[in-house]
Amino acid sequence: MKSLRMVINPNDKRSHINREIYGNFSEHLGRCIYGGFYVGEDSDIPNTDGIRNDVVEAFKKIKLPVLRWPGGCFADEYHWKDGIGEKSSRKKMVNTNWGGVTEDNSFGTHEFMRLCELIGCEPYIAGNVGSGTVREMSEWIEYMTFDGVSPMTELRRKNGREKPWKLKYLGIGNENWGCGGNMQPEYYAGVYRQFQSFCKNYPGNELYKIACGPSGGDCNWTESMMKNLKGEYGWTTNAISMHYYSLKDWNNKGSAREFTDDKYYELLELAANVDTLITRHKEIMNRYDPEKKLGLIVDEWGTWFDVEEGTNPGFLYQQNTMRDAMVAAISLDIFNKHSDRVVMANIAQAVNVLQAVILTEGEKMVTTPTYHIFDLYKEHQDGTLIYSHVTDEKIPDRNLSAVSQSVSVQENGAMHITLSNCSLTEEYEIDCCILDTAVNSVSARILTGEAHALNDFDHPDNVTVKPYDVETVHGGIKVKLPPCSAVAVEINA
Residues forming contacts to ligand AHR in the complex (CB under 6 A) are 27, 71-73, 174-175, 300, 348-349, 354
Q: At its nearest, how many Å lie between ligand AHR and the CB of residue 197?
A: 24
What phi, psi does 465 have (nearest 5°)?
A: -75, 135
- Judged by beta carbon, residue 98 or residue 202, the one nearer ligand AHR is 98
- Judged by beta carbon, residue 221 or residue 428, the one nearer ligand AHR is 221
Q: Yes or no: say if 478 and 419 are a contact pair by the CB < 8 Å rule.
A: no
User: Among this protein's residues, is 291 annotated catalytic?
Assistant: no
Q: DSSP readout, 205-248? A: ---EEEE---BTT-HHHHHHHHHHSEETTEES-SEEEEEEEE-S
Burial of 464 (0-12, 13-18, 19+ CB in 10 A): middle
Evaluated on CA atoms 235, 238, 243, 244, the torsion sign reads positive
- Judged by beta carbon, residue 303 or residue 367, the one nearer ligand AHR is 303
| 3-class SS letters over 278-313 | HHHHHHHHHHHCCCCCCEEEEEEEEECCCCCCCCCH
Residue type, 172: I
Catalytic residue among 20, 122, 142, 175: 175
Residue type, 410: Q
Q: At its nearest, how many Å lie between ligand AHR and the CB of residue 182?
A: 13
Q: At its nearest, how many Å lie between ligand AHR and the CB of residue 304?
A: 8
Rg (CA), the chain: 22
C-beta nearest to ligand AHR: residue? 72
User: Among this protein's residues, is 300 annotated catalytic?
Assistant: yes
- Judged by beta carbon, residue 95 or residue 145, the one nearer ligand AHR is 95
In terms of DSSP H, where are the helices of 146-184? 151-158
Q: At its nearest, how many Å lie between ligand AHR and the CB of residue 175?
A: 5
Rounded (10°) angle between helices 134-145 and 151-158: 60
Residues shown for the chain:
493
Q: At its nearest, how many Å lie between ligand AHR and the CB of residue 169?
A: 16
- Judged by beta carbon, residue 71 or residue 185, the one nearer ligand AHR is 71
Q: At its nearest, how many Å lie between ligand AHR and the CB of residue 353?
A: 7
Catalytic residue among 300, 363, 379, 429: 300
**Nearby residues of 34 by Cβ (< 8 Å), 6 or more positions away:** 28, 106, 107
Residue in 230, 240, 234 with CA at minimum distance from that of residue 294: 240
3-state SS class at 178: coil
Whether the bond into 349 is cis, omega within 30 of 0: yes
- Judged by beta carbon, residue 331 or residue 349, the one nearer ligand AHR is 349
Residue type, 292: K
- Judged by beta carbon, residue 146 or residue 177, the one nearer ligand AHR is 177
Q: At its nearest, how many Å lie between ligand AHR and the CB of residue 285?
A: 21
**Nearby residues of 88 by Cβ (< 8 Å), 6 or more positions away:** none
Active-site positions read 175, 300
